[in-house]
């Protein structure tokens, strides 16, 4: 049975893989996964409501899109994390990221990393989703700028583009 014992400095050492890189860090038992991720410099993941309602802090943990604000950092031990930085970059954007830009789905941009994480999870699961499925999978990502129409268009565009590419 795995047991984590909190040391004299009131922290625990955990190891995980983030965006393909293995890492070991010390975390406090009360530290959330979002706080740890941002402390490590992965600031594409946004801290919004901190109560699991807005989806800005979404990341992929062992293949499932989750909210990182409700999760203790120690839950990441032994896990594989993908943040928005692991999906694509400015120089080499993922087709989903490019589709969001091309569809005009980005306004202030705060919710977009979470939206893209949810879209990645959706398209890995259902490569050609209908509108109902798109709405259902993006129902945890709140956007205060738009009316969600452009984001749904962006997911459709990404789905079409991903059919013609080998990129994961």
Partner 1 sequence: MNNIKNIYFPTTLRDFSKIFKKNSSLIAGSTYFFNANKKNNLLNDIIAITELPLKYIKKDKKNIRIGSLVTFDDIENNDICKDTYFGFLSHSASNCSSQLIRNMATIGGNIAHPNAFNIMPLVIETLNGKIKLYDGKKYTIMPLTDYYNKKLSGIITEIILPLAYDRDFFYFEKIAKTSSSWESYITFSFRASVKNKIINDMRLVFGAITSMPLSSINIEKKFTGKEITKELINDISKEYSEFVYNAHPSHKYAEYRKNVVMNTISEFFSKLSKR
Interface positions with partner 1 (CB under 8 A):
1-6, 10, 12, 28-30, 32, 50-53, 55, 58, 64-67, 69-72, 74-75, 118, 121, 136-141
Task: Specify the residue, 102 or 146, whose C-beta has the smaller distance to partner 1.
Answer: 146
Task: Specify the residue, 104 or 139, whose C-beta has the smaller distance to partner 1.
Answer: 139
Smallest gap, in angstroms, from Cβ of residue 75 to partner 1? 6
Are the C-beta atoms of 27 and 11 separated by less than 8 Å?
A: yes
d(CA 119, CA 8) in angstroms, rounded, equals 42
The β-bridge partners of 14 are 25
Task: Specify the residue, 69 or 154, whose C-beta has the smaller distance to partner 1.
Answer: 69
Smallest gap, in angstroms, from Cβ of residue 35 to partner 1? 10
Task: Specify the residue, 29 or 127, whose C-beta has the smaller distance to partner 1.
Answer: 29
Task: Specify the residue, 44 or 55, whose C-beta has the smaller distance to partner 1.
Answer: 55
Smallest gap, in angstroms, from Cβ of residue 87 to partner 1? 16
Helix axes 149-163 and 112-125, enclosed angle (nearest 10)? 40
The CA-based diameter of the chain, rounded to the nearest angstrom, is: 54
Q: Which two tokens stand for residue 73?
A: 């950092």
Smallest gap, in angstroms, from Cβ of residue 81 to partner 1? 14
In whole angstroms, how large is the CA radius of gyration of the chain?
A: 17
Are the C-beta atoms of 155 and 122 separated by less than 8 Å?
A: yes
d(CA 104, CA 23) in angstroms, rounded, equals 36
Smallest gap, in angstroms, from Cβ of residue 90 to partner 1? 25
């Amino acid at each position: 049975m795995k047991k984590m014992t909190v040391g004299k400095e009131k922290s625990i050492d955990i190891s995980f893989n983030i965006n393909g890189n293995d890492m070991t860090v010390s975390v406090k038992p009360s530290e959330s996964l979002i706080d740890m991720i941002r402390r490590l410099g992965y600031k594409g993941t946004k801290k919004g409501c901190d109560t699991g309602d807005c989806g800005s802090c979404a990341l992929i943990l062992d293949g499932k899109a989750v909210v990182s604000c409700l999760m203790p950092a120690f839950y990441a031990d032994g896990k594989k994390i993908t943040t928005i930085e692991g999906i694509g970059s400015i120089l080499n954007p993922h087709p989903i990221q490019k589709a969001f830009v091309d569809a005009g789905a980005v306004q202030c941009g705060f919710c977009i990393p979470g939206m893209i994480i949810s879209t990645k999870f959706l398209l890995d699961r259902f490569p050609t989703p209908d509108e109902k499925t798109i709405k259902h999978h993006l129902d945890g990502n709140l956007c205060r700028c738009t009316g969600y129409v452009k984001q749904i268009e962006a997911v459709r565009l990404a789905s079409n583009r991903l059919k013609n590419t080998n990129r994961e």
